[in-house]
Structure 1
Amino acid sequence: MRIVVVGDVLLDVDVQGEATRLCPDAPVPVVDVARTRRRAGGAGLVARMLVEDGHAVTLVTVMSDDDSRLPLERALAGVRVVAGPSGARTPVKTRVQAGQQAVVRVDEGCEPAPVPAVTPAMLAAIRQAGAIVVADYGRGLARNEELRELLGELADDVPIVWDPHPAGAEPVAGVAVVTPNLAEARKFAGTAGATAPTGHAGELASELLRQWSSRAVLVTMGAQGATLVSRRNPEPLVLPAPRTAVSDPCGAGDRLAASLAVRLLEGHSVPDAAVLAVHDAAEFLGRGGVGALQERPAAVRRPSEAAALAAAVRADGGTVVATGGCFDLLHAGHVRALAAARAMGDCLVVCLNSDASVRRLKGEQRPIMNQQDRMELLLALECVDAVEIFDEDTPEKCLAGFRPDVWVKGGDYDGERLPEAALVESWGGRCETVPYHPARSTTGLADALAKVS
């Protein structure tokens, strides 16, 4: 089942080099930069962790249209993203490091942001969740009332892990687990917790459990592990962390929240899931934390969204259906064909031509909508379970990645052997056609729009 990560995304930039001299203008080190790496932060980091572990993941977030969007989208390659407009700049956090010593962190676009709107596609993606992680980084998305209402409705049936932020929103009532660190717990508990030592983490957790009306609160304490208090077990449960050599603690909280969601989705109780998550976070830091994530060899290919979905469906004895196309200006003919294809099995993957692929096939004036918008519209349809974007002129390579049981094309191919037939049949699949609606086409719609523009 799918894990949905909801929250704010950041662009983290790591600048690494050496400092061997001082600047002549001021007594500050001069860093000779050896490398610069850009990675997704915030909710984007949680989603990337889960995708690299092979889980079917959707990231529901908001994004800007500024210059930082492109590197952020590149950092999220391989993650299914359903995004609305943020109404604010992309937050960028740049860490400069000389050798093993942090020199400075430069923040851009981190000023208070307005509460963004949510789109129907964002809400539809959340409704598909088997488990949810809310990664609140204080940028306003978790304050959206429409989003909060939906999360509140789902809390009884879907395990929700809420990772709070000091500048963020309070969790909605009924979520499975809230995961503040000790400093956050002190802040959220108010004056009663302002000076509470580590040994009082249980008291803080109990106060926050009452305050938030969640099912459990897990206060994390770094190397000392975590303390869990829940409605079923109101006595504090101390969960020690394994001894781990830590060079960079960045991302530990994200790893813990992601692991909690996975364990709850697997059916573990909250105490058992918490024990496993604490160990997972320690193991993550022991492997090098986020540095190890970004340094994974390029030759190691992460499981695709479609591959993860196909594996899960087949494990339940289901049938994987796929179809493909440009889907430029989605119209009624597309929707009917997609619905008919979905009815042939237990999930539907759409192989979508990238912008570059569409240009080669249809000319420089196409596509009318970019690939991100086309993907978002497709994912908003109840009959579509996943979208795989491919850059080639034909979808053979894309299909080989998840090997659908049924490959579906429109009825305009009726009577012809489909171009992909030999490939699909090579792994025991079959090809089908669905009714074609000639009165409805993207070209006809584009021509009509040109006349009224």
Structure 2
Amino acid sequence: MTRPLVVVGDALLDRDIDGEATRLSPDAPAPVVEVHREHTRPGGAALAAALAARDGREVVLVTPLGGGADDDEVRSRLRGRVRVAEFPLDGTVAVKTRIRAGGRPLVRIDRGGGAPGRPGDAVTEAIAAAGVVLVSDYGRGTADALRPLLEAAAHRAPLVWDPHPCGGPPVPGVRLATPNAAEARLFAEPLGAGDGARGLRAAAERGAALSRHWRAAAVCITLGERGALLSRGAESPMLLPAPHRAPGDPCGAGDCFAAAAAAALADGALPEEAVQRAVAAATDFVSRGGAGDPALWGEADPLPVPAHDAFALADAVRSRGGTVVATGGCFDLVHAGHVGMLESARRVGDCLIVCLNSDISVTRLKGPGRPLTPLEDRLRVLAGLACVDAVAVFDEDTPEALLRKLRPDVWVKGGDYTADALPEAQAVRSWGGQALVLPYLEGRSTTALARRAATAAAVRPR
């Protein structure tokens, strides 16, 4: 019988109030928000537990809850998702309210909270029966109240500790600790690690120092869009990069990361494998809208994962008010001119989709012997660039039919064009889009590269 994944920590209630701000208040220099929507959801350890249970595994949440309406809202939201082993809370669950305009937070209001009471037998039994324990510490006393039970659990089962600046250190023997970059910097300052610096070298020093200081098997510092840095106490850590850029709300990404890592360890993964799975899960989570994604709570049909689907990505970015940018070409031999143009194009909007000529299309355009690089390889090279969010392939001579389905807000090309002279400009304008030309690095071209390579091969000594 598989033992459950047990999440221990502080449950919260998160509330988003969304609207638009188009004017200032007449009595103060403050924006007036016209509210369009309010949404509440479990937060803190309750969110981590709900995320860990998404794949159908048995999850138990150990948390203190009070008797207020907000506490009942947390219970209601978790019902049918996770089993709650609660113990008394002297007070009410803390509520975090974000007021947002155009999807961007203006202010956060915190209220409520209390002190954990004495845990009962149900709590002790739940932790003792855990296959894996995730401590989701939000600095409100739960982890401290249960510390003796967690110290014992670390000797029996893999334990993941997601720390908080206001909480205590992980118990000795944790399998994986998951501070973010700011938390790692704060925790490592008293140890003299990183010397107040930023960057990967400083993060590596902090991860190694914290692994030794906390007596943790591994410390993983999450780095947002850069991925995560895994250290086992040595000065040469492993970087697990994010699989793609994730335009979206990062709220809850840390909880998703920790939950995915704990679930992977429950499945028998090594820490390196668990972190890799967690990076991918957190990236997709942000792409879908973070903790505020209605599909997460059964309030809408889930979006397809946009990382590999250009159309799903375009829809997701547009639904959040973002700008979809597209460009196109053969990209037969990707050179510095291509990369510079693609990086510039990505900065124009919130995602970049490359419309790529198929092999048949390239041959018709360029003649026999082309492409030099087959489609599968060209796809992989483009998808591996950090500035490219998705690739869509077309067989025709021009990408116009593909563009009419994709309907980007901006169509970008590099080279000696004018915007009006771009073949696709008229089509893009028909749905309100804009065609742009970006400068190209002079002297860089696939034809020139191929010619130089052929010349070098011809004169090579036999």
TM-score by length of 2: 0.61
| Offset, 1:129 | 0.9
Name the CA distance, whole Å, in 2 between partners of 1:7 and 1:297: 24
What does 1:155-194 correspond to in 2, within 5 Å?
155-191=154-190, 192=192, 193=194
Letter in 2 for 1:266: D
Say if 1:121 and 1:213 are closer, same or farther in 2 by CA, change over 3 A: same
Report how many residues are paired: 296
| Offset, 1:170 | 0.8
- Structure 2 equivalent of residue 226 of structure 1: 228
Structure showing greater relative contact order (alpha-carbon pairs closer than 8 Å, 6 or more residues apart) = 1
> Does structure 2 conserve the Cα–Cα contact (< 8 Å) formed by 1:9 and 1:61?
yes
Moved more, 163-172 or 62-71: 62-71
Name the CA distance, whole Å, in 1 between partners of 2:300 and 2:128: 34
> Does structure 1 conserve the Cα–Cα contact (< 8 Å) formed by 2:127 and 2:153?
no
Say if 1:117 and 1:253 are closer, same or farther in 2 by CA, change over 3 A: same
- Structure 1 equivalent of residue 279 of structure 2: 278
> Does structure 2 conserve the Cα–Cα contact (< 8 Å) formed by 1:244 and 1:285?
no
| 1:44 alignment partner, SS class | helix
Deviation string, structure 1 residues 374-414 (Cα, Å, up to 9, x no partner): xxxxxxxxxxxxxxxxxxxxxxxxxxxxxxxxxxxxxxxxx
2:80 aligned with 1:105, yes or no?
no
| Offset, 1:101 | 2.6
| Offset, 1:75 | 2.2
> Does structure 2 conserve the Cα–Cα contact (< 8 Å) formed by 1:148 and 1:172?
yes
| Offset, 1:297 | 4.0
> Does structure 1 conserve the Cα–Cα contact (< 8 Å) formed by 2:10 and 2:137?
yes
What does 1:297-308 correspond to in 2, within 5 Å?
297-298=298-299
Out of 6, 10, 13, the position equivalent to 1:11 is: 13
Name the CA distance, whole Å, in 2 between partners of 1:47 and 1:294: 16
Letter in 1 for 2:225: A
What does 1:281-292 correspond to in 2, within 5 Å?
281-292=282-293
Deviation string, structure 1 residues 49-78 (Cα, Å, up to 9, x no partner): 122221111100001222321222222222
- Structure 2 equivalent of residue 347 of structure 1: none
What does 1:16-415 correspond to in 2, within 5 Å?
16-78=18-80, 79-109=82-112, 113-114=114-115, 116-144=117-145, 147-191=146-190, 192=192, 193=194, 195-199=196-200, 200-230=202-232, 235-293=236-294, 296-298=297-299
Name the CA distance, whole Å, in 2 between partners of 1:273 and 1:263: 5
| 1:255 alignment partner, SS class | helix
Deviation string, structure 1 residues 12-33 (Cα, Å, up to 9, x no partner): 0000112233222212122121
Letter in 2 for 1:273: A
Structure 2 unaligned residues grouped into runs of 5+ = 303-462
| Offset, 1:194 | 6.0
- Structure 2 equivalent of residue 412 of structure 1: none
Letter in 1 for 2:7: V
| Offset, 1:114 | 3.9
Name the CA distance, whole Å, in 2 between partners of 1:229 and 1:299: 39
| Offset, 1:293 | 5.0
Name the CA distance, whole Å, in 2 between partners of 1:128 and 1:252: 27
| 1:90 alignment partner, SS class | strand
Say if 1:297 and 1:148 are closer, same or farther in 2 by CA, change over 3 A: closer
Name the CA distance, whole Å, in 2 between partners of 1:149 and 1:265: 22
Say if 1:273 and 1:234 are closer, same or farther in 2 by CA, change over 3 A: farther
Letter in 1 for 2:11: V
Say if 1:299 and 1:197 are closer, same or farther in 2 by CA, change over 3 A: closer
- Structure 1 equivalent of residue 407 of structure 2: none
| Offset, 1:294 | 5.3
Letter in 1 for 2:57: H
> Does structure 2 conserve the Cα–Cα contact (< 8 Å) formed by 1:8 and 1:42?
yes
> Does structure 2 conserve the Cα–Cα contact (< 8 Å) formed by 1:38 and 1:75?
no
Let me know the Cα RMSD of the aligned residues. Answer: 2.0
| 1:205 alignment partner, SS class | helix
Say if 1:296 and 1:93 are closer, same or farther in 2 by CA, change over 3 A: closer
Name the CA distance, whole Å, in 1 between partners of 2:224 and 2:300: 33
Say if 1:43 and 1:224 are closer, same or farther in 2 by CA, change over 3 A: same
Name the CA distance, whole Å, in 2 between partners of 1:80 and 1:156: 24
Structure 1 unaligned residues grouped into runs of 5+ = 302-453
Deviation string, structure 1 residues 201-231 (Cα, Å, up to 9, x no partner): 1100111011101111001111111111126
> Does structure 2 conserve the Cα–Cα contact (< 8 Å) formed by 1:187 and 1:194?
no
| Offset, 1:44 | 0.3
Please say which structure displays the higher CA radius of gyration.
Answer: 2
Name the CA distance, whole Å, in 2 between partners of 1:224 and 1:178: 18
| Offset, 1:142 | 0.7
Paired-residue identity, % = 45
Name the CA distance, whole Å, in 1 between partners of 2:33 and 2:300: 31
> Does structure 1 conserve the Cα–Cα contact (< 8 Å) formed by 2:294 and 2:300?
no
> Does structure 2 conserve the Cα–Cα contact (< 8 Å) formed by 1:39 and 1:294?
no
> Does structure 1 conserve the Cα–Cα contact (< 8 Å) formed by 2:88 and 2:116?
no
Name the CA distance, whole Å, in 1 between partners of 2:29 and 2:235: 54
> Does structure 1 conserve the Cα–Cα contact (< 8 Å) formed by 2:71 and 2:92?
no
Name the CA distance, whole Å, in 1 between partners of 2:102 and 2:158: 42
> Does structure 1 conserve the Cα–Cα contact (< 8 Å) formed by 2:176 and 2:220?
yes
Say if 1:293 and 1:134 are closer, same or farther in 2 by CA, change over 3 A: farther
